[in-house]
Amino acid sequence: MQVHKWQKKLIHEAKKARNLAYCPYSRFAVGSSVLTRSGKIFSGCNIENSSFGLVICAERTAIFNAVCKGEREIQAICVVGRTALPCGACRQVIAEFGLDIDVILATLRGPQRKENIATYKIVELLPHPFDPITAGLLKRLP
Ligand code: THU
């Protein structure tokens, strides 16, 4: 698979975020980065809590980081981890911002952390999504 320059940059930023993961309980560090349609990149890591139900995934941290900076138009999201597959909750949050969002998954394999890269549309990872437009809750994304 050919990996484009913008995809490499996203992976690089997600890896940097992964190094900041706060995951003393699972020791499963995940990094994520979001590319907005305006060309900006926002990143996030998973942040755990001793009250386990309060854990937040890297993907949501990255998306919420973008939204907090006034950026809601998301073109792509990248996930980096030992297994890089967004959980169901994160798939739903990604789908909120558009069904055509590209999802770049960089799985780190073996002691060398060799990357395996796969790309999907969010709708492939979350078929038959409950999304605000199909549900008639919004005419377009605000
Ligand atoms: N985690 C993520 O950050 N993203 C995912 O896609 C799946 C899981 C985190 C949550 C928790 O801190 C750790 O990985 C183990 O589940």
Question: What does the pLDDT look like over 3-31, one tens digit per residue?
Answer: 999 999 999 999 999 999 999 999 999 99
122 against 112, higher pLDDT:
122
3-state secondary structure of 15: helix
Q: How confident is the model at residue 69 (pLDDT cuts 50, 70, 90)?
A: very high
* Predicted TM-score of the model (pTM): 0.96
Specify the pLDDT at position 89: 98
Closest residue to atom 13 of ligand 1, CA basis: 28
Which residue bears the tokens 């809750």?
A: 137
Q: What is the mean pLDDT of residues 72-83?
A: 98
Q: How confident is the model at residue 51 (pLDDT cuts 50, 70, 90)?
A: very high
Closest residue to atom 2 of ligand 1, CA basis: 57
Domains of the chain, first to last: 5-125 (3.40.140.10)
pLDDT mean across residues, the chain: 97
Q: How far apart are CA 99 and CA 12, in angstroms?
A: 24
How far is ligand 1, taken at its centre, from the CA of residue 29, in Å? 7
**Ligand 1 pocket list (CB less than 6 A):** 23, 26, 28, 30, 46, 48, 55, 57-59, 79, 86-87, 90
pLDDT beyond 90 at 34: yes
Which atom of ligand 1 is nearest to 85's Cα?
6
Specify the pLDDT at position 76: 98
pLDDT beyond 90 at 141: no
Helix (H) or strand (E) holding 49: none
59 is catalytic: yes
In the β-sheet with 41-45, what is the strand arrangement from edge to edge? 41-45, 31-36, 74-81, 102-109, 114-121
pLDDT beyond 90 at 1: no
Which atom of ligand 1 is nearest to 84's Cα?
6
Task: Give the HSE-up count for residue 18: Cα atoms under 13 Å, Cβ half-sphere.
Answer: 24
Specify the pLDDT at position 45: 98
pLDDT beyond 90 at 142: no
Q: What is the mean pLDDT of residues 111-130?
A: 95
Closest residue to atom 14 of ligand 1, CA basis: 28
Which atom of ligand 1 is nearest to 57's Cα?
3
